[in-house]
Structure 1
Amino acid sequence: MIWVGVGMTDVAFSCSCGTLKGIVHDASPANACHLICFCKDCRAFARHMGQMEALEPGGGSPLVQVLPARIEITQGADQIACLRLSPKGLHRWYAACCNTPLANTVGSSRMPLAGMWSPLFETTRAFGPVVTYGFTKAALPGGPRKDKGLGRMMGGLAKRALAAYLNGTARQSPFFDAAGAPVATPRIISKDEKAAAYAE
């Protein structure tokens, strides 16, 4: 569902079972990057969460890159959980109630970036079309073999991050508290879990 107000578009999202719900505020192509990531790590996360059927052809993870400050959890915040595929891997957030991926972030609130799982949204129309295909060399058969829009993605990320620092919202995030600590302790998956997640 999309709510359109004066100068803004708020887009609702929810986990698969509906326990966790939220809103991305001020959604627009200018405030986001709609992308598909074909890297093995994102695919391993989807496999570990039992979400392979939601991937794009070629095993691409559908994501919307937004500023964390624009994400509001309106219900079920106690279900936010986090794992890492390796000790230095991204923080991969999910809803513990039904193992629905939520977003990928770096391990610090200092970098205002959240790659949200697109299937959370009933529609991604407000974010515009997919403009970036990344890590296509790792795509499975049937996927693209040439990256697209990476420069646009990085440029947009830098522009949004700078704006967030200038307006004082850079460290606001539903995934980190005011002190910058994760709201849920990240769990590093076991060697057996990792082997199963990366099995292709």
Structure 2
Amino acid sequence: MMTTVGFSCSCGALKGVLHEASPKTGCHLLCYCKDCRAFARHMGQMEALEPGGGSPLVQVLPARIEITDGADQIACVRLSPKGLHRWYAACCNTPLANTVGSSRMPLAGMWRPLFESTEAFGPVTTHGFTKAALPGGPRRDKGLGRMFGGLLKRSLAAYLNGTARRSPFFDASGAPVAAPVILAPEQRAAAYAE
């Protein structure tokens, strides 16, 4: 059963809803890569990570994300010049989502702690990049084939129904709604310090 799930940043200035949330329309995952962990550290959100440093994410189509309040708080950082666009709420440094640098790829890895309820997503099905996990984390990836297969299927469906390039993070021309800021070398070093 699909449902609509509300979300908000920590201070409540930015709010929104994710439409058509279900285990079939997204991928509930934990990402153990150093980049996701560095983003959490840079945002002061390490306490929200799972044991072993896993970032709790829900991979969804951007067209299903609707910002209802506080869209002016959307900000973007990149850990490196070629890194992912990592979106957050500037009001309180709450992570929002990770995207590639273009609206052409209909993918958003939303920060799971944003959501008022996570039941609609079902259990975590994927553990990714576990070789980079901290002590106490898993040591074997799980569900990556399912994750990539689901991503391909959802992306194709989005292109077929004309919603692939709709996103709260990119405007109609495909430009980011907030200019990405690339971390300075000292900020990057601090973000990756483990």
Class of the TM-score when normalised by the shorter of the 2 chains? over 0.9
Report the counterpart of residue 174 of structure 1 in structure 2.
168
- 1:1-200 maps to which residues of 2 (within 5 A)? 8-200=2-194
CA distance in 1 between counterparts of 2:118 and 2:184 reads 34
What RMSD in Å do the two structures reach over aligned CA positions? 0.6
CA distance in 1 between counterparts of 2:3 and 2:143 reads 24
Identical positions, percent: 83
The 4+ residue runs of structure 1 with deviation greater than 6 A are none
CA distance in 1 between counterparts of 2:118 and 2:81 reads 32
Q: Which runs of 5+ in 1 are unaligned?
A: 1-6
* TM-score, structure 1 as length reference: 0.96
Note the C-alpha offset of 1:8.
4.0
Q: Which runs of 5+ in 2 are unaligned?
A: none
CA distance in 2 between counterparts of 1:122 and 1:18 reads 12
Equivalent pairs counted in the alignment come to 194
* TM-score, structure 2 as length reference: 0.99
CA distance in 2 between counterparts of 1:35 and 1:54 reads 14
Note the C-alpha offset of 1:45.
0.1
Note the C-alpha offset of 1:112.
0.0
- Whether contact under 8 Å (2:2, 2:120) holds in the other structure is no
Residue type at the aligned position of 1:152: R
CA distance in 2 between counterparts of 1:66 and 1:14 reads 16
Note the C-alpha offset of 1:122.
1.9
